């Protein structure tokens, strides 16, 4: 079950808005350990999907989330602070006594609200093949681009999206946060609009739900916690072949708050 929906009041261009969000991580039906982790604390919302033998994936994802959580608690959340936190996470992963697998690492994807400029903006960040989706004007789009062998083949025109689903290299990613030199995330800025809904997820969700399925459960569930629970239940029912982690963040007018809230408003 997802945590209770949390909220935060913000003001954009003198318009009061309400952010609301919820997240969940689940072992799934076939894995023995959960190597996913997430952080959903204003203004940063991220998912990390670890990989590596023994406890490697769990070490990588949790080390990364811990460093980012400390950054949020410090009160400074921007690109430079994120990359500094990730550099520290890479060192933590490399120094951990149980990091023995050269393939140890983690994806990292999500959004943060950048309030440093004249007009606050969302900034998406991505390393690996976890994803950020945005539902805007009843249209779902994938914001991030996967860092994967299959995506490179699609971009080169050598593979269709349909062929990619069953490709033997579908799980091979080309970038990760791990025990090696850090490659900075890809960033994309997005304006803040009332009605927008973000889905941040590991591939444990997208292996089991199509984009249409994700959009369906967003339409059917106005409250983030309800939508998170519905998507998780569907992913498990469809097989739950991997750990499943997702965070939903949405922007509403201040007088349209979700029915169940843990208000942390300013």
What stretch of H or E contains 74?
Answer: helix 56-74
Confidence of residue 133 (pLDDT cuts 50, 70, 90): very high
Residue 29 φ then ψ, to 5°: -100, -15
| pLDDT tens, position by position, 36-61 | 999 999 999 999 999 876 677 899 99
Question: How confident is the model at residue 262, as a pLDDT?
Answer: 45
Give the Cα separation of 73 and 99 in Å (integer): 27
What stretch of H or E contains 176?
Answer: none
Question: How confident is the model at residue 132, as a pLDDT?
Answer: 98
Confidence of residue 196 (pLDDT cuts 50, 70, 90): very high
- Span 89-115, average pLDDT: 86
| pLDDT tens, position by position, 197-224 | 999 999 999 999 999 999 999 999 999 9
3-class DSSP state for residue 196? coil
| pLDDT tens, position by position, 60-73 | 999 999 999 999 99
Closest CA to 46 of 104, 95, 110, 128: 110
**Predicted TM-score (pTM) of this structure:** 0.92
| CA atoms within 13 Å, Cβ hemisphere of 143 | 28
Q: What is the DSSP letter of 119?
A: S
Confidence of residue 258 (pLDDT cuts 50, 70, 90): low
């Amino acid at each position: 079950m997802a945590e209770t929906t949390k909220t935060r009041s913000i003001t954009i261009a003198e318009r009061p808005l309400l952010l609301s969000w919820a997240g969940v991580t689940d072992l799934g039906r076939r894995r023995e350990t959960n190597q996913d982790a997430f952080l959903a604390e204003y203004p940063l919302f991220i998912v990390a999907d670890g990989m590596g033998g023994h406890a490697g994936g769990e070490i990588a994802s949790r080390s990364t989330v811990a460093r980012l959580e400390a950054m949020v608690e410090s009160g400074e959340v921007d690109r430079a602070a994120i990359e500094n936190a990730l550099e520290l996470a890479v060192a933590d992963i490399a120094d951990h006594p149980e990091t023995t697998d050269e393939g140890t690492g983690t994806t990292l994807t999500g959004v943060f609200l950048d309030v440093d400029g004249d007009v606050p903006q969302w900034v998406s960040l991505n390393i690996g093949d976890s994803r950020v989706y945005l539902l805007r004007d009843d249209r779902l789009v994938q914001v991030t681009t996967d860092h994967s062998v299959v995506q490179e083949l699609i971009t080169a025109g050598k593979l269709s999206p349909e062929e990619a689903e069953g490709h033997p290299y579908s799980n091979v990613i080309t970038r990760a946060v791990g025990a090696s030199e850090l490659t900075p995330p890809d960033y994309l800025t997005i304006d803040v609009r009332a009605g927008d809904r973000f889905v941040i997820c590991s591939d444990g969700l997208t292996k089991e739900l199509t984009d249409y399925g994700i959009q369906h459960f967003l339409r059917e569930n106005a409250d983030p916690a309800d939508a998170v629970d519905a998507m998780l239940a569907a992913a498990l029912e469809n097989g739950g072949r991997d750990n499943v982690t997702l965070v939903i963040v949405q922007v509403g007018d201040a007088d349209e708050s979700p029915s169940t809230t843990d208000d942390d408003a300013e």
